[in-house]
Amino acid sequence: MGLRDFFDRIEPNFLKGGKWERLFPVYEMVESFIYTPKTVTTVAPHARSYVDMKRIMTYVVLSTIPAIIMGLYNVGLQVNTAIGVYGASGWRASLLEFFGIGFDPANPIANFLHGALYFLPIYITTLVVGGLWEVLFATVRRHEVNEGFLVTSMLYALILPPSTPLWQVALGISFGVVIGKEIFGGTGKNFLNPALVGRAFLYFAYPAYMSGDQIWTPVDGFSGATALSVSASDGYTALMTHGVTWFDAFIGTIQGSIGETSTLACFIGLVFLLITKIANWRMVVGCLAGMIGLATLFNVIGSDTNPMFAMPWYWHLVLGGYAFGLVFMVTEPVSGSHTNLGRYIYGALIGVMVVMIRVVNPAFPEGMMLAILFGNVFAPLIDYFVVQANIRRRARRHA
């Protein structure tokens, strides 16, 4: 008996009146993951398109592959480099020694595997805990398990430091899924990005684990500031003395969260999302314009006491989580603006806010996470004013 026959045979048990009726969301989730859903539109109008929710989510996950690959390599590179100075410790190092892989930072395979030993526990924890919440809410509400969680889980895992304790990973994704999405009705009804909500919760609840000099490279005794921290204290020109060039930041071989360091990898994902028309280019243009405009204005104004005023836009582009947020968070369709003009404004607001937070507010050297959540809050208001302006313009036209 084939797998398709097996699903057809057990399906009546999960339909209305079946003995496992309440578990239909679980059955539907597993079946639709393997096969295309059998549900069809039964009443007019009929809209035919090959782009369904599953395909959209698949495209977004595929677009993160370059960031995942580069993230694993960079985490391993940073850890292996630090081990050469401070020595190896922990079960990951013991496992690599047991298999004879070693800790040579010049060995790409050793870097990638070591990075995977940090990323996979985080992602598996995210997937299991967040998935349980998704199934629980789907079962109680008697609706299907939405594929959107696959994207949320991937993005959430990629924006965490590699040293994040797994219990915090579980707590953060629980907060993001439940508070950031499910209490508003689930996928498509949330006005905040769930992955960022979970990350923001951890940032404010456990700041010692989410910021500082030692969280980015989890090696005992290691201390090394991020590029943004160095820039905030000594100016971006001091990065050269710390061995960080603009090209290093663009490629992604610097301190940072797992998937956020490589601007190149993020832009490869952006090209894919734009070609498949999953991402809206207006949001990208708006966010770049807002960031470039305010950064340039600060460069012109200058400051004798704040070295961040001097940071040019092309450094803002490659540092911190700007590129990752631009590609995978700003373009997220549910929590962003839905009108064409509103998308420009929404993107520009985020671009302005991230520079404002980085330069003016010394308490938050990063800024992209808070800027996107700020934009999420204002997105409905932006669309409202754009729609009202269109209504007034049409009324004058026909007056």
Note the pLDDT tens digit of each residue in 272-290: 999 999 999 999 999 999 9
Q: In whole angstroms, how far apart are CA 394 and each of 337, 387, 391? A: 21, 11, 5
Q: How far apart are CA 279 and CA 291, in angstroms?
A: 19
Polymer length in residues for the chain: 399
pLDDT of residue 45: 47
Element holding 368 (H helix, E strand): helix 368-397
Q: In whole angstroms, how far apart are CA 109 and each of 62, 68, 118? A: 22, 15, 15
Answer whether residue 357 shows pLDDT above 70: yes
Q: How far apart are CA 304 and CA 170, in angstroms?
A: 44
My answer on whether omega of the bond before 162 falls inside 30° of 0, hence cis, is no
Angle at CA 44, nearest 5°, toward 143 and 147? 30
Q: How far apart are CA 397 and CA 390, in angstroms?
A: 11
**380, 191 Cβ separation under 8 angstroms:** yes
pLDDT of residue 196: 93
Half-sphere exposure of 174 (CA within 13 A, CB side): 10
Answer whether residue 7 shows pLDDT above 70: no
Q: How far apart are CA 164 and CA 126, in angstroms?
A: 12
Mutual angle of helices 194-205 and 166-178, in 10-degree steps? 130
Which band of pLDDT confidence, cut at 50, 70 and 90, is reported for residue 35?
low
Q: How far apart are CA 168 and CA 166, in angstroms?
A: 5
In degrees and rounded to multiples of 5, residue 174 shows phi and psi of -65, -45
pLDDT of residue 21: 63
- Cite the beta strand spans of 60-196 per DSSP E: none
My answer on whether omega of the bond before 312 falls inside 30° of 0, hence cis, is no
Answer whether residue 158 shows pLDDT above 70: yes
What is the rounded average pLDDT for all residues in the chain?
A: 86
Burial class of residue 292 in the structure, from the number of CB atoms within 10 Å of its CB (0-12 exposed, 13-18 middle, 19+ buried): middle
Kindly state the average pLDDT of the residues 96-118.
Answer: 91
Q: How far apart are CA 325 and CA 66, in angstroms?
A: 15
Kindly state the average pLDDT of the residues 32-40.
Answer: 58
**74, 261 Cβ separation under 8 angstroms:** yes
Answer whether residue 46 shows pLDDT above 50: no
Amino acid at 351: G
If phi > 0 it is left, if psi is from -120 to 50 it is alpha, else beta; for residue 207 that is: alpha
**119, 67 Cβ separation under 8 angstroms:** no
Q: In whole angstroms, how far apart are CA 311 and each of 264, 351, 355? A: 20, 15, 10
pLDDT of residue 228: 87
Which value, to the nearest 10 degrees, does the dihedral of the CA atoms of residues 13, 147, 73, 287 take? -170
Q: What is the largest CA-CA distance in the chain?
A: 81
Instruction: State pTM to two decimals.
Output: 0.86
